[in-house]
Structure 1
Amino acid sequence: MIAGHFGFAAAVKAKETRIPLWTLMLATAWLDVVFVPLLALKVETIEPVPGSANGYGESIIHADYTHSVVGALVLAAAFGAVAGWRLGRRAGLVLGGVVFSHWVLDLIVHRMDLPILPGNAGDLPRLGFGLWRLPAVSVTVEVLLMVVGFGLYWRAAARIDPKRARLLGGVAAASGLITVVLDLLAV
């Protein structure tokens, strides 16, 4: 879903022109950025689905801190607070929302592996709609998010600087093609 996350960030950039694109891209990936060191420390884990080929969405992710509802809200609030301090209140609120959008998009594709509380405290039911079980549908949703997001971004950029918009269009098209090919190879 990483391309879908970036597509969402590009869509937000189309409306929030004062927020640097790199901060939106970092915000949309923030839960995964924090997840990586916790994965390296074996605090959070990834395990293959039994009997799977380990392709697209073929893992159960135990991101019990970064990808719990409460953990995602805390990470979003912290990111938003720092961004608000540096970029202003509105940018902080928007960027905090973009951070939490990661969890919402993951909810759609993940199997039921997203806890409510950090560390899965209370052993509450885990959440996830499991769209990854349908790789073709999952890839299609991700590609649509990416195309719509980058399309909105391109249109906004074209209004400001048509020359730059042509360059952005080419970069987005090439990136999109690479992402689709990689996603299809993983299916």
Structure 2
Amino acid sequence: MLAGHFGVAAAVKAKTPEVPLWALMLSTQLLDVVFVPLLIAGVESLEPVDGGGYGGVVIHANYSHSFISAFFMSILAGLIALRFWGKRGGIAISSVVFSHWLLDLLVHRADMAILLGAAGNFPLLGFGLWKFPIISIVVELALIIFGSILYHRSLVPKAKGKQRKYAIAVSGLMAVLLTLSLVTSVFGG
């Protein structure tokens, strides 16, 4: 769902121009940014299923991707963003961070904990769209298209003269990069 997360960031950028695109892109991946060192340290892990490939993993991320940790990371990121980009920017960043958990809930198999460390033995969550690669690719592609269209509409109509050409090029480049991130996820394993 990497590309889908980025599609959300592009869509939110269109509605909150005061927040830099890099901050939105980082925010949409914050849970994964926390996951990587925990993966390297052996605290969290990946388990291939169905021969691997696109969505072919169970992700044991009971700390970085639990509902509670996603909620608190989104609040913390929103409070930090509030200092730089005001109330609206803080809400946007907070929402984008938490959107990662919501989108993962759609695609992940039942591997997402509610409480930190899967405490309380609550059932693990996940609707498992990755079991149906075509459907999950379509959902991700829809997020990319939606984000690209909103991003384009936020840049191009405001630009005049030579800047209009740059705005078209930038929005086109964004669409290409988002699409390439999906292609990489699907064919890169």
Where do residues 76-155 of structure 1 align in structure 2 (5 Å cutoff)? 76-155=74-153
Structure 1 residue 77 displacement after superposition: 0.9
CA-CA distance at 1:169 after TM superposition: 3.2
> What SS is found at the alignment partner of 2:127?
coil
Q: Contact 2:105/2:125 (CA < 8 Å) preserved in 1?
A: yes
Match of residue 19 from structure 2: 19
Structure 1 segments, 4+ long, off by >3 Å, are none
Aligned with 1:159: secondary structure? coil
Structure 1 residue 87 displacement after superposition: 2.1
Contact 1:71–1:118 under 8 Å retained in 2: yes
Q: Which runs of 5+ in 1 are unaligned?
A: none
- Aligned pairs, how many? 185
Inter-partner Cα distance in structure 2 for 1:176 and 1:4: 8
CA distance in structure 1 between the partners assigned to 2:175 and 2:66 by the alignment: 33
- Return the letter of the residue paired with 2:183: V
Which residue pairs with 2:71 in the alignment?
Answer: 73
Which segment drifts farther, 109-118 or 82-91? 82-91
Secondary structure at the aligned position of 1:160 is classed as: coil
- Equivalent pairs: percent with the same residue? 48
Change (3 A) 1:176 1:70: closer
Structure 2 CA distance, aligned partners of 1:89 and 1:178? 33
Deviation string 1:132-178 (CA, Å, 9 cap, x unpaired) is 00001111110110111011101110122222221123313432442
Q: What is the alpha-carbon distance in structure 1 between the residues aligned to residue 12 and residue 85 of structure 2?
A: 16
For normalisation by structure 1, the TM-score amounts to 0.93
Counterpart CA distance in 2 for 1:106 and 1:44 is: 16
The TM-score normalised by the length of structure 2 is: 0.92
Post-superposition Cα deviations, 1:49-84, rounded to whole Å, max 9, x if no partner, equal 2xx221011111011011111110011111111111
CA distance in 1, matches of 2:131, 2:188: 13
Instruction: Give the corresponding residue for 1:159.
Output: 157
Summarize deviations over 1:16-61 as a string: whole Å, max 9, x none: 1111111111110111011111111111111112xx2210111110
Give the Cα–Cα distance (whole angstroms) in 2 for the partners of residues 170 and 94 of structure 1: 23
Q: What secondary structure does 1:128 align onto? A: coil
Letter of the 1:138 partner, please give it.
S
Name whichever of 117-126 and 38-47 sits farther off. Answer: 38-47
Cα deviation for residue 113 of structure 1 reads 0.4
Alignment partners' CA distance in 2, 1:89 and 1:184: 37
Q: Which residue of 1 aligns with 2:31?
A: 31
Deviation for aligned residue 1:89? 2.3
What letter matches 1:83 in structure 2? A
- Aligned counterparts of 1:184 and 1:27: Cα–Cα separation in 2: 22
Q: Counterpart in 2 of 1:7?
A: 7
Amino acid at match of 2:167: A
